[in-house]
Amino acid sequence: MSIALDDLFAVLAAVVLAVVGGEAFLKSILGAAIHLRVPKRVVAVTLAAFATSSPELTVSSVAALAGQPQIGLGDALGSNVVNIALIFGLALLYGAVPTSRGDFGRDYYLALAVPVLTLVFAVDGQIARAEALLLIVAFAVWLAVTLRQALRERDAPAALDAGEMSAVRSLILGTAGLAALIGAGRLFVGGATGIASAFAVDTYVVGVVLVAIGTSLPELVTVLLSRLRGHDDVGVGTLIGSNLFNGLAIVGVAGVIHPISAPLTEVALTLACGIAALLLLRPDRGGLIGRGRGVLLLMLYAGFVWLTLTS
């Protein structure tokens, strides 16, 4: 069957809106955080991650309200693979990222634990509302602990240069960015559903491959810019934080709106690749994430896409 031009246009327009809206929303939140003297690491794991995960949140919510939460589940879980395997794999091609094992603390191990918990929930082929609510509760606890830590470190140096952005300009920029992200979410759901119908492809597969890449564009922009500007810890923190938002808040919200049918074979592959990507992210004893890891991550992502499309 042929693909309707309207569906292709919707997907392309959503990509543009996701990039523009995500960047605007990110700048707005970072500007506000810096005026509040929030440390760069905390900004990356919380505010930056929230901003860059907003497309996944809108896509998952709109899809669940439309009675197709599988698109949201595939988007959220697929985005976690895209974040680490594809995006950070590409970023590592620029060169090794200096870090330390000490930076991979509570958030990193929680990011590893979340897919295991999701797999347990999906054993019966469905993520029920009660299980989704548990994910949201876990997210709320993590966020509360992280914000409490941020308040303790409030006197730390500013994370990023906020320039002369006033509070009013920051609010306007953030509102416009959020509106663009919501519009991108609606366009993605419509376009992805049309493409799935044209090729008779399962909606979960469309979400995990096509929609996941599109909604991860803000993460891609953030990570590449952080590398170019010498803020490597922002890139790592943003991706780990984004994975937590996706796995806990976004899957949780979608599941509370509408119980999610989760075929174990499809979900297990995505979750396993997400865990493998996170393990490859861990630095060596010298505190480096080498360029060779980037090649392995990209190979992992290529294998993931191939297995998803052929299974």
CA 302 to each of CA 36, 56, 96, 244, 306: distance values in angstroms, whole numbers, following the listed order: 41, 21, 21, 23, 6
Distance from C-alpha of 237 to C-alpha of 15, rounded to nearest angstrom:
23
Name, in order, each residue with C-beta under 8 angstroms of 147's C-beta and a sequence gap of 6 or more.
46
Name, in order, each residue with C-beta under 8 angstroms of 169's C-beta and a sequence gap of 6 or more.
none
Q: Name the phi and psi angles at 260, rounded to 5.
A: -105, 125
Q: What's the domain count of the chain?
A: 1
Reported pTM: 0.78
**For 299-311, what is the mean pLDDT?**
88
In Å, how far from its chain's centre is CA 252?
14
Residue 112, domain extent: 5-310
Contact 32, 165 (CB under 8 A): no
Contact 71, 59 (CB under 8 A): yes
Q: Domain containing 150 — which CATH number? A: 1.20.1420.30
pLDDT for res 30: 65
Transcribe 98-135 into DSSP letters. Answer: E--GGGSSHHHHHHHHHHHHHHHHGGGSEE-HHHHHHH
Least confident of 113-117, 142-146, 250-254, 261-265: 261-265
The torsion defined by the Cα of 238, 239, 241 and 246, in degrees rounded to 10, comes to: 130
Residue 307: CB atoms within 10 Å = 13
Model confidence band, residue 160 (pLDDT cutoffs 50, 70, 90) = very low
Among the listed residues 15, 18, 59, 52, the one whose alpha carbon sits nearest the alpha carbon of residue 254: 59
**For 2-30, what is the mean pLDDT?**
75
Over the Cα atoms of the chain, what is R_g?
18
User: First and final CA of the chain: distance in angstroms?
Assistant: 21
Residue the block writes with tokens 């979340």: 114
pLDDT at 158 over 50: no
Contact 146, 45 (CB under 8 A): yes
Q: What is the pLDDT of residues 85-110, one digit of tens each?
A: 998 898 888 888 877 665 667 888 99
Q: What is the pLDDT of residues 111-136, one digit of tens each?
A: 999 999 999 999 988 899 999 999 99
Q: Name the phi and psi angles at 219, rounded to 5.
A: -60, -40
In Å, how far from its chain's centre is CA 103?
19
Q: H or E element: which one contains 148?
A: helix 129-152
Select, from the ranges 67-76, 90-99, 256-265, the one with the highest average predicted confidence (pLDDT): 256-265
pLDDT at 207 over 60: yes
Contact 39, 159 (CB under 8 A): yes
**Amino acid identity, position 111:** A
